Amino acid sequence: MEASKVYFTNMRASIDDSLTDKLQRLIRKAGISSIPFENRFAAIKIHFGEPGNLSFLRPNFAYAVAEVIRSLGGKPFLTDCNTLYAGGRKNALEHLESAQRNGFSPLSTGCQILIADGLRGLDEALVPIEGGKHIKVARIGRAVMDADVFISLTHFKGHEATGFGGAIKNIGMGCGSRAGKMEQHCDGKPEVIPSRCRGCRQCAKQCAHDAISYGEGRVASIDHKKCVGCGRCIAACNFDAIVNRNGGSNRILCEKIAEYTLAVVQGRPHFHISVVMQVSPNCDCHAENDAPIIPDVGMFASFDPVALDQACADACNRQPVLPNSQLSDLLGRGSGSGDHFADCAPGTDWHAMLAHAEEIGVGTRRYELITVR
């Protein structure tokens, strides 16, 4: 397969050229205008941010993208699916309230907001996948599949289960209905190292399934019959007391996400944008965000989400580690591998996600980087 074109612009701005101006110029240079938008519904998949998290993409980025789509005759809307875990986005009402608290509205974004899998996360489309190793029929939020054109707008950051959260994570996991998310997460089962547990109960606060209890000496234990393997407890523990010893389970999760991504993009026009700024160590699903682990990098766009993720990861790994970050703390305990995401979330393997996505035909990891001024 030929290398895919990935377009890039940095985060520098001038008095007469804002970042949103640069974003619009970037996506036009990348070829978004070649998509036939006229009178067609365009789903813009974005993460609205968990309340308390401040590293999600500002609504201004969504407005810039929606404005370009409207200028091309399209009918854009912002969308995401409900979550599995306890938090502010587990049903459509709370999800919309959270989006509004974080500044997303028709006025601030220039388009409407739809929660793709409905009030309770049950409104899903069953999408067959050709060539899937794990998934034969994906459960995707119906509004995502009802759209004529699919656009992903991603905050590129670290992730405790997949190494990083990029375009493929935003699409595959993000567009899954609640049942679809459960299907993707069901292989990984973390466990507690008793000698490290301090009984702080932070892990239990993050568990939506009441799977964590405390026994003698206030040591946590995880009920694997209730656990769905979402990994939030791993990120919540400040003492490295919760681990996933089954290294294959994270790989399977990554491969399932790739297969769900194929279900979303196959058979229709799609385009992908990633903004690499405030690169927090964990997902925007957290009700907090730690300090960025690297400096801001820039904005990327491509028709190929695999090439896009590879280009973003490569650009991140060329950056220095910021002091007073989770990554610098971890590297202070030993030498790093040169892969910031693997060092920040040991036991993850983001390469598995991209390799499987390439294998099943989502895109290619080979890319040509084109800089847009």
Structure tokens at 140: 């995707």
**Torsion, Cα of 313, 318, 319, 324 (10° steps):** 80
Q: Where are the alpha helices (DSSP H) in the chain?
A: 19-29, 59-71, 92-101, 106-109, 142-146, 167-172, 178-185, 202-206, 232-236, 247-265, 305-317, 326-331, 340-344, 350-359
CA distances from 159 to 90, 162, 165, 351 (A): 20, 6, 5, 13
Using an 8 Å Cβ cutoff, are 223 and 275 in contact? Answer: no
DSSP-based three-state secondary structure for 3: coil
Q: What is the mean pLDDT of residues 335-355?
A: 93
| pLDDT for the residue numbered 226 | 86
Structure tokens at 152: 């992903």
Tens digits of residue pLDDT in 102-141: 999 999 999 999 999 999 899 999 999 988 999 999 999 9
Report percent pLDDT > 70 for the chain.
97
Tens digits of residue pLDDT in 215-258: 888 999 999 888 877 667 876 787 878 876 654 588 999 999 99
Q: Where are the alpha helices (DSSP H) in 199-325?
A: 202-206, 232-236, 247-265, 305-317
Using an 8 Å Cβ cutoff, are 307 and 367 in contact? Answer: yes
| pLDDT for the residue numbered 52 | 96
Structure tokens at 264: 């979303």
CA distance linking residue 78 with residue 59, whole number of Å:
10
| pLDDT for the residue numbered 235 | 66
CA distance linking residue 330 with residue 290, whole number of Å:
14
Lowest-pLDDT choice from 207-216, 277-286, 363-372? 207-216
How high does pLDDT run on average in the chain? Answer: 93
Tens digits of residue pLDDT in 68-93: 999 999 999 999 999 977 789 989 99
| pLDDT for the residue numbered 29 | 98
Residues 6+ apart with CB under 8 A from 186: 228, 229
Long-range contacts of residues 95-103, Cβ cutoff 8 Å, at least 24 apart:
95/48, 98/48, 98/49, 98/50, 98/51, 99/48, 101/51, 102/48, 102/49, 102/51, 102/56, 102/59, 103/58, 103/59
Q: What is the mean pLDDT of residues 166-187?
A: 91
Q: What is the mean pLDDT of residues 294-301?
A: 98
Q: How many residues does the chain have?
A: 373
Concatenating the DSSP letter of every residue in 63-98 gives HHHHHHHHHTT-EEEEEE---SSSSS-SSHHHHHHH
Give, in degrees to the nearest 5, the angle at Cα 176 between 229 and 294: 70
Lowest-pLDDT choice from 45-49, 151-155, 191-195? 191-195
R_g of the chain, CA atoms, integer Å: 20
| pLDDT for the residue numbered 44 | 99
**CB-side neighbour CA atoms (13 Å) of 127:** 28
